[in-house]
């Protein structure tokens, strides 16, 4: 069935406290999506961000980001007051996230909440901790230890903690009991609010697409608590790290620096860690986009310590066999695969054999006039088309920075015009395509320039900061978007009166049949 959605991270929602949250503004955005004829809301990873503020580098791949906890809801629960929340500075510009202020002030405020929380714990708090025991305690303990070690990476902690000496950890667990519980409290708040938001969205007919990075951060509870799952030496240092080789976009390639998985070990334990991860993500989201899916077929490894990605090699991943095994345990997985860039025949085969839809990005379609897979006339039906992703410029920014030849080709191919807006012309092309699902960014719907770009890969400092203004969700935009959804047959199908009448008639017929059966039984008696 043809459908459509909007890509915008939680952080980009408007709010009074410096960053988007899972509160009233998130529900207002869901209402906007429903009224605008959308079916999906796509977000970026919800994990706690670490240094650099990227949602793709997190202290845990299971935990939720405490910044997204809505403070108004915590006030309603009696753990904070509105005056306390307003006593802190949250941002200098309400269209940008100030992560420095958030880090300094949000956790100071959360500490106040914890002082009240430990005196009045919710009845289901223990149940929550028990139900999430396979990751929650490790994460909370890791964060408490990180504070005790002045924010240092776990690889620089003492050997007793680094190598998880049971006796030492037991002593530290008692010493840091309150700190551990405070991080468990934040996860309790996060998942309570997330589950409420997801339930609200689902009732409105909006499904959530979540983003799952293939790799985890080296400085994370994932690696500290599960070192055998990762490619580390006897001192727990990384041997090789993840990245991408040099290509047309970068002469030095991309050095991500993430630890690599020890696929031989994972195969022996039946991919237990991945099973746990995908089970958790499937519970959080209605649909999962797996970032860098090609890494399951073959992945690029760079010796630890290299300063560029030039001297790497390709190695074989677990392939489709891992997903076959996991689906036997977890059932059919609802996955979108990020299969962008150069793909070898074996990667293409793995994606096709798995049966998951791949991605097409319109901004990649016009670098050359010859056919390429991102041009709409080459799309298969079973795919997801994006005008751009979180790593792309906005369409208006792309049009401004593209070569004259590229832009002219796009204008010829898509019949773009300045009068209509290059962004609207490109979005209409995505909606008109045969792709079963189309996703556009909120920035493009709002006619925004490069200043609203979410991320520029391989750069630091100005990423992940864009926020929408409170008055951006206008009735006019809602109606315009809904009109195009009906024009391009992407609006959700409404249940007509005929369907409702059929249901009512079926109920009546069933009741009448039941009465007849009862009469027959009475006559026989």
- Which positions are catalytic? 291, 338, 391
Instruction: Record the tokens describing residue 358, joined without a space.
Output: 């791949």
Return d(Cα 405, Cα 385) in angstroms, integer.
23
For residue 23, the SS3 value is coil
For residue 498, the SS3 value is helix
For residue 90, the SS3 value is coil
Beta bridge partners of 6: 41, 440
Return d(Cα 341, Cα 412) in angstroms, integer.
24
Long-range CB contact pairs, 449-455, < 8 A, 24+: 449/394, 449/396, 449/397, 449/400, 450/393, 450/394, 450/396, 450/397, 450/400, 450/401, 452/394, 452/397, 453/392, 453/393, 453/394, 453/397, 454/9, 454/12, 454/44, 454/390, 454/391, 455/54, 455/390, 455/391
Write b or e for each residue in 125-158: b if 16 or more Cβ atoms lie within 10 A of its Cβ, otherwise e: eeebbeebeebbbbbbbbbbbbeeeeeebbeebe
Return d(Cα 412, Cα 307) in angstroms, integer.
42
Beta bridge partners of 360: 385
Alpha-carbon 364 to chain mean position = 22
Cα→Cα distances 84→109, 111, 451, Å: 8, 12, 32
- Which residues are CB-neighbours of 485 under 8 A, at least 6 positions away? 4, 36, 37, 38, 431, 491
Using a 10 angstrom Cβ sphere, with 0-12 exposed, 13-18 middle and 19 or more buried, the burial of residue 18 is: buried
Alpha-carbon 117 to chain mean position = 29
- Contact (CB, 8 A) for 29 and 13: yes
| Secondary structure in 3-state letters for 285-336 | CCEEEEECHHHHCEEEEEECCCCCCCCCEEEECCCHHHHHHHHHHHCCCCEE
Return d(Cα 180, Cα 139) in angstroms, integer.
9
- Contact (CB, 8 A) for 365 and 435: no
């Amino acid at each position: 069935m043809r459908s459509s959605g909007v890509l915008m991270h939680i952080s980009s929602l408007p709010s009074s406290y410096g960053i988007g949250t899972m509160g009233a503004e998130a529900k207002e955005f869901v209402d906007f999506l429903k009224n605008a004829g959308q079916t999906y809301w796509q977000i970026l990873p919800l994990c706690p961000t670490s240094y650099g503020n990227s949602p793709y580098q997190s202290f845990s791949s299971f935990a939720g980001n405490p910044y997204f906890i809505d403070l108004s809801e915590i006030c309603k629960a009696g753990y904070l007051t509105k005056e306390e929340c307003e006593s802190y500075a949250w941002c200098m510009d309400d269209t940008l996230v100030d992560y420095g202020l958030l880090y300094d002030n949000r956790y100071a405020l959360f500490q106040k909440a914890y002082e009240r929380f430990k005196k009045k714990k919710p009845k289901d708090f223990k149940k929550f901790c028990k139900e999430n025991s396979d990751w929650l305690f490790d994460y909370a303990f890791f964060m408490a230890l990180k504070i005790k070690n002045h924010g240092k990476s776990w690889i620089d902690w003492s050997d007793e903690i680094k190598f998880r000496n049971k006796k030492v950890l037991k002593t530290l667990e008692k010493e840091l009991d309150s700190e551990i519980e405070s991080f468990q409290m934040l996860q309790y708040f996060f998942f309570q609010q997330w589950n409420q938001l997801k339930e609200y969205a689902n009732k409105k007919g909006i499904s959530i697409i979540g983003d799952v990075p293939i790799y985890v951060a080296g400085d994370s509870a994932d690696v500290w608590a599960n070192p055998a799952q990762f490619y580390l030496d006897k001192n727990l240092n990384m041997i090789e790290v993840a990245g991408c080789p040099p290509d047309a976009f970068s002469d030095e390639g991309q050095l991500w620096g993430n630890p690599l998985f020890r696929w031989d070990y994972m195969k022996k334990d039946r991919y237990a860690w991945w099973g746990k991860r995908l089970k958790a993500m499937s519970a959080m989201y209605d649909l999962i986009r797996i970032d860098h899916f090609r890494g399951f077929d073959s992945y690029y490894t760079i010796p630890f310590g290299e300063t560029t990605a030039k001297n790497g090699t390709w190695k074989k991943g677990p392939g489709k066999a891992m997903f076959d095994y996991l689906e036997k345990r977890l059932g059919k997985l609802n996955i979108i695969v990020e299969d962008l860039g150069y793909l070898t025949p074996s990667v293409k085969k793995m994606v096709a054999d798995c049966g998951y839809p791949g991605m097409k990005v319109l901004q990649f379609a016009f670098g050359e006039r010859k056919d390429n897979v991102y041009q709409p006339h080459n799309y298969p039906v079973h795919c997801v088309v994006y005008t751009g992703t979180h790593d792309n410029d906005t369409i208006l920014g792309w049009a401004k920075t593209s070569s004259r030849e590229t832009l002219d080709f796009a204008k010829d191919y898509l019949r773009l015009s300045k009068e209509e807006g290059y962004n609207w012309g490109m979005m209409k092309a995505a909606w008109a395509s045969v792709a079963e699902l189309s996703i556009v960014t909120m920035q493009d719907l709002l006619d925004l320039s490069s200043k609203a770009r979410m991320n520029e890969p391989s750069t630091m400092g100005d990423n992940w900061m864009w926020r929408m203004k409170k008055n951006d969700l206008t009735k006019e935009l809602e109606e315009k978007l809904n009109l195009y959804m009906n024009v391009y047959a992407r609006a959700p199908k409404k249940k007509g009166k005929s369907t409702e009448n059929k249901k009512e008639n079926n109920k009546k017929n069933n009741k009448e049949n039941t009465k007849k059966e009862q009469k027959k039984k009475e006559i026989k008696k």
